[in-house]
Amino acid sequence: MPKIVLVHPQIPPNTGNIARTCAATGTELHLVGPLGFEISDRYLKRAGLDYWPHVALSYHNDIDEFLQVAHRRGGRLIGYSVRGKKNYLDCEYLTDDWLLFGSETNGLPPELLAKCHLTSFIPMEQGKVRSLNLSVSVAVVLFETLRQLR
């Protein structure tokens, strides 16, 4: 099963909504610190409602700690960015992929994007809109991944 990785998320409701999506799909959620909020943040919990006990959640203190875990477990790192190289619909997803998303304000750090096996983007038809909300982006990519794998 692919895994969702949020690197330095800043907005608690986005992370809560992503956690709910992960709970609904049985997808692991990995949070890479530092975070822009406390894990116990009431907005985070409210957005996830009562789904938190059903989320396979892992926390990594920093990118290096996350990369060690990912390397040990295996699988490709796919980084999502407005500057990604491949349309997410043209990717062929694998069951052990790590789907990486950056913070709402800065995206994925360039040094992490450089370590990705593949970088991808969600196309925007309207030139005035540069990106989608983080929780929407994760859901779009995750459901396409699951569609392909099932």
Q: How far apart are CA 132 and CA 41, in angstroms?
A: 24
Q: Known binder of ligand: residue 48?
A: no
Helix residue ranges per DSSP H, 26-150 = 42-48, 63-73, 110-113, 134-149
Q: Known binder of ligand: residue 131?
A: yes
| Cβ neighbours of residue 130 closer than 8 Å, sequence gap 6 or more | 82, 124
| Cβ neighbours of residue 54 closer than 8 Å, sequence gap 6 or more | 23
Q: Known binder of ligand: residue 135?
A: no
Annotated binding site: 102, 122, 131
Binding site for S-adenosyl-L-methionine: what residues are annotated? 102, 122, 131
